[in-house]
Structure 1
Amino acid sequence: MKYYVVDAFATRIFEGNPAGICILDRWISPEQMQQIATENNLSETAFAVKEDEDYRLRWFTPAAEIDLCGHATLATAFVLAQFYEPEAEQFVFRTLSGTLVVKRSEDRYELDFPSRIPEPIAISEDMIQALGVTPSEAYLSRDLMFVLENEEQVRNLTPDFSALKSLPDGLGVNVTARGNEVDFVSRSFFPKLQVNEDPVCGSAHCNFIPFWSQRLNKTEMVARQLSKRGGTLYCTAQGERVKIAGNAVLYAEADLKLDM
């Protein structure tokens, strides 16, 4: 099985978020896909099979399959463009979150994702203890989202991952604030999925983009994820959809030695 590792939302290797990508002729079992994702130990491994003119796409963390992943979708489109369909200008993926389209524009890839406006919730003492700071606002969609006072709080955050994992709500925990040199900054944590910090989380921006679009009164924004690796995302709010664009770089190409 051909296997690729791509750094997404990156312009050079060791930046952005690495994703494992497997382009298959036919589906293998969910158990095998989970084993591969666990062995890879990346935040996500994506599996794609061409069905008619489109691709069916699934994403797995080291712990479980998930319903939406931005960086691994971008990375899958990058692999298809580089190795399978170099003339294609867009790729259509059928996923657990519906139909997702990725368009190519020179060396940048633009994701068309659902907008997920988070709902405000009360801040609990458990949340404060887990984060190590008191957020100014708290929200819930698929993940918890906390608004912090400034970029420095986001950058310097050292949460208690065990405590984050114990919070009853949310699959992941995202923190965000206005940026100094970009429109907004963020970090993302998924200890419930055995990923303490996701270096660049595209799906989190399905929450961030509508939130900051309303807060900043802007539809086009530049965002930066402040993990150790870091990554830049070019964001557009379009009502019920959001556009998330970025670059990608190939890190590795390999053959997985599996009995198919």
Structure 2
Amino acid sequence: MKVERIAAFSYKNSGGNPAGVHFSDEMLSEKEMLLIAKDVNYSETAFLVKVGDSFRIRYFSPETEIAFCGHATIASGSFIGEKFGLGTYELILNGGSIQIEVSQNEGENYTSISSLKTHSKDVDKEYINKIIDGFSFNKEDLNEKYPIRIAFSGNNHLIIFLKDKTKMQEMQYDFESIKVLMEKENIVTISILYEENENLYHSRNAFAYGGVIEDPATGSAAIALGEYLRDTGFKKSGDIEILQGFDMKQPSQLFVSFSEVSNSSIKVSGSSRYISEEA
């Protein structure tokens, strides 16, 4: 079964977050999809089936099914654009549907995702303390301007801001203990962030939940950051840029746009590149 390998949210036609994209006439069984995802061994592989003018999509990490994956959706958009043409398409998820726009930008495949409704909420202090204990930074390294919260974008993401960029770059964590804590609250990634200015953020994303140490580009977490900024009032609307994966030598660039309407859909966009079989 052919699986396309596509790097989403690439930066100047390099880097990005690799995803598998598998297209078939009928949806495979969960067992088959999990086996393929394990074989591909990327953080996620997307499985697509055409349903009328729409596409049914499911996402699997090497360990489990994921409700939504931004970078695998961007990669899927690139594949759909190549196979079915540029335009706007509906993707049917397990818990709703989203729209993607597939275009070309300066010769690169460019896809935008309009998310499900979003929201954010506070986190129990005891839980926060346990999370911090599992990471290489401590409470004194937190940017107190930004409270730690959970933001939902189709998945739950824990949002943590640090006040020093170097601490973010040096981030490490205890994989097993953090994985247990993430599973307890159904948190898919932990976003460790540094604010360069109100429109530019640097990010690293711990992904123990999916059996992967770190994600080089996380579209779902980018949407969650937009929701976090809107819901807390730090940026009620507008555009932001997120640079991620640079510390992994997989530079990635994500663009997020959102309106001031509470809980409304948020758009994340980025370029993609096909990964050669020799890579």
Could you state the TM-score of these two structures normalised by the residue count of structure 2?
Answer: 0.83
The amino acid that maps onto 1:173 is I
1:242 is matched with which residue: 242, 263, 266? 266
Residues in 1 aligned to 2:209 and 2:227: alpha-carbon distance in whole angstroms? 25
**Deviation string, structure 1 residues 175-220 (Cα, Å, up to 9, x no partner):** 2231269522221112122111011111112210122343134411
What displacement does 1:235 show?
0.8
The amino acid that maps onto 1:242 is I
Asked whether 1:151 is paired with 2:168, we answer no
Give the fraction of aligned pairs with identical amino acids, expressed as a percent.
Answer: 24
Asked whether 1:232 is paired with 2:246, we answer no
Q: Is the 8 A contact 2:199 2:239 kept in 1?
A: no
What displacement does 1:24 show?
0.6
The amino acid that maps onto 2:191 is N
CA distance 1:151–1:123, change in 2 (3 Å): farther
**Match of 1:43?**
43
Matches within 5 A, 1:121-136: 121-124=123-126, 125-133=129-137, 134=139, 135=142, 136=144
CA distance 1:56–1:230, change in 2 (3 Å): same
**Match of 2:79?**
79
Contiguous gaps of at least 5 residues in structure 1:
255-260
Matches within 5 A, 1:61-72: 61-72=61-72
CA distance 1:192–1:182, change in 2 (3 Å): same
2:176 is matched with which residue: 137, 162, 168? 162
**Deviation string, structure 1 residues 55-107 (Cα, Å, up to 9, x no partner):** 1000000011111110101101101112x112x31221111241111112323
**Match of 1:101?**
99
Q: Is the 8 A contact 1:189 1:198 kept in 2?
A: yes
**Match of 1:200?**
217
Q: Is the 8 A contact 1:115 1:210 kept in 2?
A: no
Q: Is the 8 A contact 2:6 2:273 kept in 1?
A: yes
CA distance 1:181–1:144, change in 2 (3 Å): closer
**Deviation string, structure 1 residues 123-152 (Cα, Å, up to 9, x no partner):** 443222112222343212423222222433
* Corresponding residue pairs, total: 252
Residues in 1 aligned to 2:166 and 2:91: alpha-carbon distance in whole angstroms? 37
Asked whether 1:2 is paired with 2:2, we answer yes
Residues in 1 aligned to 2:243 and 2:191: alpha-carbon distance in whole angstroms? 13
Residues in 2 aligned to 1:189 and 1:52: alpha-carbon distance in whole angstroms? 37
TM-align CA RMSD: 2.1
Q: Is the 8 A contact 1:44 1:72 kept in 2?
A: yes
Residues in 2 aligned to 1:105 and 1:22: alpha-carbon distance in whole angstroms? 20
Q: Is the 8 A contact 1:21 1:72 kept in 2?
A: yes
Residues in 1 aligned to 2:188 and 2:130: alpha-carbon distance in whole angstroms? 16
**Match of 1:18?**
18
The amino acid that maps onto 1:120 is D
Segment drifting more, 52-61 vs 206-215: 206-215
**Match of 1:138?**
148
What displacement does 1:35 show?
0.5
Q: Is the 8 A contact 2:11 2:251 kept in 1?
A: no
**Match of 1:223?**
242
Residues in 2 aligned to 1:146 and 1:58: alpha-carbon distance in whole angstroms? 28
1:117 is matched with which residue: 106, 116, 119? 119
